[in-house]
Amino acid sequence: MSSAPPAGSARPFDRAPVALRDDRFDIAVPAAAQRSIATGWLLLGLTALIGAGVFSILLVLARTPFFAGIVPAGDFFRVALVVHVDLSVLVWFVSMAGMLWTLDTSPRFVWLGWLALVVTAAGTALMAAAPFTGAAVPVMSNYVPVLDNPSFLAGLVVLGAGFLLLTLRSFVAPTRMSLRLDGTDALRFGLKAAAVSSAVALMAMAWSLAEVPRDVDTLTYYELLFWGPGHVVQFTWTLLMLVAWAWLATLAGSPLPLSPRVVVLVYAIGLASVFVAPIIYLNWTVVSVEHRKMMTWLMRFGGGLAILPMVLALAVALARQRVTTAVTRPLRAALVASLLLFAAGGLIGFLIQGSDVRIPAHYHGSIVGVTLALMGLAYALLPRLGFREVSGRLADWQPWLYGGGQLLHILGLLWSGGYGVQRKVAGAEQTLRTTQEVAGMGLMGLGGLLAIAGGILFVWVVLDSVITARRVR
């Protein structure tokens, strides 16, 4: 139990400093109503990670040599994969977006914020329970894999409705930006840009739903349905990561060597690519090969113009300032690990040829890069939400364990993919023929288990902060 600070002193991160520096990237946590909703989103994301972690253990073992024969493969592996992906990517990212967008809203329409949270949580529960409610046929569609099961499909629709309500509130109850365009305004602009990107993704979803014919086979239907919106929503998650990078760099004591106006320009460039999506929809039907190619090219190159300057600026900031404290060490670790993983995922993307495990190596790197940034920001915001500060060895090592494990994981997939090991298969279906293939997938398994341990550690650190604070009260 930590002792209370002396009268007149301020705990780090309790509130954003007022007008200390014009270029300080920081946002103060608003009043109690928004704080409670933001806490709810954080706890929902934490719950999703716990569920995803359970299924990920089965996934890693099902692909790891010597263990693969113990864990069932086939549909069992694919059912676990569907639930794991949707919880660890879809629900986690929506939850963290909910936390950050709530902090960037006014007290208006609080009921809508609570409704969005409750609806999203209900959808998550239905999806997670689906494998236990009857036959669940896995459909391995990209971006949003699906279980052909009434509970799962109902949960997916409810989750989508919650995301729609969340996005709607960010538009009807925005926090105003000042004319100074300082660091706080820059972060708010980035969060608003992410909300606009999610609105375009939802419009793309409605457009695809109207155009995709229902008489095609199930896999083709969901592949076409989620291809367009799946590509667009990646810009939302990337913009949230760019906001987290700037925010974390300030809180970790390594502020970006960029002015708020330049950062706003970077966010605007990242958002501009999103508006190419409606042009693609207008010119090529969803079922066309051209539509798929154009959406792929949009995601591959559209965000690079915004990401590259932020990567370079962040690298300079981290190299300049290496002095850390007990409170800033976990934040800096999350920031460095996020940068490394996202860069690795991006580079692997240019090595993809065919449908092998280099594809999951690419998106695991990129997705985990975003996740680590959001984990670090969650650590920083916990005391502002009323919980104990995050510090100590477990918090210090968690980003390195999670990030390092994921790096080994994707390197193993990259190695095996070079020998033609196919994606979305496990156990005997992998047909590992050579020592190199076995070694690559063994490295993948080791890294995956280390990453799982890092994910469990994140949950432990956050829950310890929350529970300890409640005991003190």
pLDDT at 201 over 60: yes
Alpha-carbon distances, residue 7 vs 3, 4, 10, 11, 139 (angstroms): 12, 9, 8, 11, 59
- In the predicted model, what is the mean pLDDT of residues 109-130? 95
Q: What is the pLDDT of residues 91-107, one digit of tens each?
A: 999 999 999 999 999 88
Greatest mean pLDDT among 86-95, 303-312, 426-435: 86-95
- In the predicted model, what is the mean pLDDT of residues 150-159? 95
User: How confident is the model at residue 342, as a pLDDT?
Assistant: 87
- In the predicted model, what is the mean pLDDT of residues 286-314? 83
More confident residue, 128 or 77: 128
**Percentage of residues of the chain with pLDDT beyond 90:** 46
User: How confident is the model at residue 411, as a pLDDT?
Assistant: 82
More confident residue, 359 or 106: 106
Domain range summary for the chain, segments of one domain joined by +: 29-175, 182-251+256-309, 321-473
Check whether domain 321-473 has CATH 1.20.120, yes or no: yes
User: How confident is the model at residue 433, as a pLDDT?
Assistant: 55
pLDDT band, very low/low/confident/very high, at 243 (cuts 50, 70, 90) = very high
- In the predicted model, what is the mean pLDDT of residues 273-287? 93
pLDDT at 378 over 50: yes
- In the predicted model, what is the mean pLDDT of residues 353-381? 81
Full-model pTM: 0.86
Q: Which of 57-71, 251-265, 286-300, 398-412 has the lowest mean pLDDT?
A: 57-71
- In the predicted model, what is the mean pLDDT of residues 441-457? 82
More confident residue, 429 or 209: 209
* Amino acid at the residue 467: I
User: How confident is the model at residue 229, as a pLDDT?
Assistant: 94
Scan for tokens 């060895």, then name that residue.
Answer: 393
- In the predicted model, what is the mean pLDDT of residues 410-420? 68
Alpha-carbon distances, residue 165 vs 44, 111, 168, 193, 230 (angstroms): 16, 11, 5, 17, 18
pLDDT band, very low/low/confident/very high, at 134 (cuts 50, 70, 90) = confident
Q: Which of 172-181, 440-449, 453-462 has the lowest mean pLDDT?
A: 440-449
**Neighbour count for residue 21 (Cβ, 10 Å):** 12
- In the predicted model, what is the mean pLDDT of residues 439-457? 80
pLDDT band, very low/low/confident/very high, at 349 (cuts 50, 70, 90) = low
- In the predicted model, what is the mean pLDDT of residues 288-298? 88
pLDDT at 123 over 80: yes
**Percentage of residues of the chain with pLDDT beyond 70:** 81
User: How confident is the model at residue 157, as a pLDDT?
Assistant: 96
Q: Which of 27-36, 420-429, 453-462 has the lowest mean pLDDT?
A: 420-429
Q: Which of 7-11, 163-167, 237-241 has the lowest mean pLDDT?
A: 7-11
More confident residue, 57 or 461: 461
User: How confident is the model at residue 120, as a pLDDT?
Assistant: 98
